Amino acid sequence: MADIIKLLPDHVANQIAAGEVVQRPASVVKELMENAIDAGASTIKLVVKDGGKTLIQVIDDGVGMSVTDARLSFERHATSKIQKAEDLFQLNTKGFRGEALASIAAIAHVEMQTRTAEDEVATHIKIEGSKIISQEVTVAPKGTSMMVKNLFFNIPARRNFLKSNNVELRHIMDEFHRVALAHSSINFHFYNNGSELFNLPTSNNRQRIVNIFGAKTNEKLVPVNEDTQVVQISGYISKPEYAKKSRGEQFFFVNNRFIKSPYLHHAILGAFDGLIKKENHPGYFLYLTVDPGSIDINIHPTKTEIKFDDEHTLYAILRSTVKHSLGQFNVIPSLDFEQDQNLETPYSYKDKSAELPRINVDSSFNPFKESSGSGTAQRPTFHKQHTKSWDSLYVGMESNLGKNSGFSSVSFESDTITGSIFENKKELIDTGTTTFQLRRKYVVTTIKSGMVVIDQSRAHQRVLYEKFLKNITIKEAVSQQLLFPLSLTFSKSDCAIIEEIQDSLTTVGFVFDNIGEEEVTVTGVPLSVPESEVGIILDQLISDYQQDFVVDGFSQTDILAKTLAKSLSVKTGEILDSDSQLALVNDLFACKESGVSPFNKPIYVTITEDDIDKKFI
């Protein structure tokens, strides 16, 4: 039998390695920015065009590379970070495998200019698909400039799997945030299609968080500090009242490296237990410093997951630290039954001495002194009011009340009805149909073969979903103008999403006066949207949009309609009057798809008369 095992060519091996290292343009940004940080740069510039598909450029003022190092850096497993296997457990740098540049050069057009402080001229290298096209001497400042053009130019299948430019740009912004938050002592610049998105000067961690996520973030942060023999914890957590339904602002950094850890995330949720709703998620920016020998970073291709030697101890310390910070800054409400609040001294009067009250007495006043006008003393006179007997008080009451008055006309209070969620649709209601509400969750109605039990929340979601979908499609939504414009604050990335889907929001009924970098002004809302819930709906919409990463307009329209229907539908626990129950039933079965909700969950179940008869056998 002939030999069938052969060594792969270098360019094929590099493309296979690129499948693990380079998943999308954001992966290239991560690798290049980490290399710039390892080079000791104090200023890093990131330039992106067309979501990274056309151009990704990272410019730094680090130590640079010599001619030999510049050529060798594109070889596989060539690195300056480690020398032997033991160094893997004492890592203080970002990249250490030596696969990043070789993998990137295998699937893109790469140009590098680099110069050290000792050299007078720089080295300029061009590579296309792992092939070195040219190597020249040029003039450039100290540091390194990496340009990656036409990503996946030689792998069309991988390029076709890339999302739209806006989606890829959001992924790049996420990677940029992670690197910038971990290194607040470095000055970062981010340019997209010629416009500057971020200019982050050198600062501390808190100011860096505020510069990225907006000025309103400063009032949400609660500091966290703890120093133990196992771990040193610092950073900030968000106050419970600012918890969101999305997981956007959640960052773990271990030795200035961003990681994802569901186990540690569960510790944070345990500290917030009882303070936030189950469907909400707290925000946190936590920096953990541990012994490099106690963690293993080399367990994931993207190095975003690490393994701790003692996870249980770290879990307990992290949970207690966050809980202590919530209590230390009076975020958690507390009751002291042994202390009388009436005896507490305000801070403004703490150092003041008590003053005796002063009473002014008129010593010349004599209440029995006779007045000058008459010879008798002025004394108050009392007059007794004579009334008729008590039985005469009710004379004539019979004529005022009438013959039919009495307990039969007295009305008693009942459960408060939250209001009708539908317009008056008596013309659609079959007067012979009977409905009633069960457990404030289901609407039960009769049919010829038995009865139908309808989930009121899911049914209303279906009705609103098809209504909004129709309004978006035919663009006939009615908007309600606000008396005073509503100003809402978002992060730059959130404002970019709102600007991206502005046309779809307008077709629903939203009217935007201005969409800035961190502020959105709303002047009109759909008729069914209360003003107090505009911010909540937009937050939920941004969260759903980020999680689904839609591409085409149909998906964008679908997510918008689903989010609005979920936010505005009647909830479980609300009381519906009989007219609303009948209208809900009629509108549900008038929908094109009345069996399942917009989220593919059953809306109703049918119980036939035979099923009921079987229960009595």
Choose the weakest-confidence range: 66-80, 189-203, 383-397, 482-496. Answer: 383-397
Q: What digits encode the pLDDT tens for the residues 414-428?
A: 555 554 444 444 433
pLDDT of residue 54: 93
Q: Please, which pLDDT band fits residue 381 given cuts at 50, 70 and 90?
A: low
DSSP 299: T
- pLDDT of 249 above 60: yes
Q: Please, which pLDDT band fits residue 328 given cuts at 50, 70 and 90?
A: confident
- Residue 64, classed as helix, strand or coil, is coil
CB neighbour list of residue 11: distance below 8 Å, 6 or more residues apart: 106, 129, 130, 131
High-pLDDT (> 70) share of the chain, %: 78
- pLDDT of 329 above 90: no
Q: Please, which pLDDT band fits residue 551 given cuts at 50, 70 and 90?
A: very low
Q: Please, which pLDDT band fits residue 359 given cuts at 50, 70 and 90?
A: confident
- pLDDT of 222 above 80: yes
Q: Please, which pLDDT band fits residue 199 given cuts at 50, 70 and 90?
A: very high
Q: Measured at the alpha carbon of residue 130, what is the angle toward residues 129 and 133, in degrees to the nearest 5?
A: 85
High-pLDDT (> 90) share of the chain, %: 36
Architecture in CATH for domain 212-328: 2-Layer Sandwich (3.30)
Choose the weakest-confidence range: 73-82, 167-176, 542-551. Answer: 542-551
Segment 230-256 shows an average pLDDT of: 88
Q: Please, which pLDDT band fits residue 65 given cuts at 50, 70 and 90?
A: very high
- pLDDT of 334 above 70: no
pLDDT of residue 356: 78
- Residue 90, classed as helix, strand or coil, is coil
Q: Domain spans of the chain? A: 10-200, 212-328, 435-589
- pLDDT of 491 above 50: yes
Choose the weakest-confidence range: 72-76, 308-312, 395-399, 508-512. Answer: 395-399
pLDDT of residue 422: 45
CB neighbour list of residue 93: distance below 8 Å, 6 or more residues apart: 38, 81
- 251 and 284 Cβ atoms separated by less than 8 Å: yes
Q: What digits encode the pLDDT tens for the residues 153-169?
A: 888 888 888 888 888 98
pLDDT of residue 426: 41
Q: What is the pTM of this model?
A: 0.71
pLDDT of residue 410: 52
- pLDDT of 513 above 50: yes
- pLDDT of 539 above 90: no
One-letter amino acid identity for 510? F
- pLDDT of 189 above 90: yes
Q: Please, which pLDDT band fits residue 411 given cuts at 50, 70 and 90?
A: low
Alpha-carbon gap, residue 165 to 155, rounded angstroms: 18
Backbone φ and ψ of 132, nearest 5°: -80, 115
pLDDT of residue 46: 96
Return the CATH number of the domain spanning residue range 435-589. Answer: 3.30.1370.100
CA-nearest of 225, 316, 331 to 264 is 316
Segment 334-349 shows an average pLDDT of: 59
One-letter amino acid identity for 136? E
Alpha-carbon gap, residue 223 to 286, rounded angstroms: 10
Segment 450-474 shows an average pLDDT of: 89
- pLDDT of 396 above 70: no
Architecture in CATH for domain 10-200: 2-Layer Sandwich (3.30)
From residue 584, alpha-carbon distances to 447, 593, 602 in Å are 15, 14, 16
Of 352 and 395, more confident: 352
pLDDT of residue 226: 93
pLDDT of residue 494: 83
DSSP 240: G
Q: Please, which pLDDT band fits residue 76 given cuts at 50, 70 and 90?
A: confident
H or E segment and range at residue 43 = strand 43-49
From residue 487, alpha-carbon distances to 168, 217, 519 in Å are 29, 16, 7
Please say whether the dihedral angle defined by the alpha carbons of residues 286, 291, 292 and 298, taken in this order, is positive or negative. Answer: negative
Alpha-carbon gap, residue 577 to 414, rounded angstroms: 12
One-letter amino acid identity for 533? E
Backbone φ and ψ of 277, nearest 5°: -70, 160
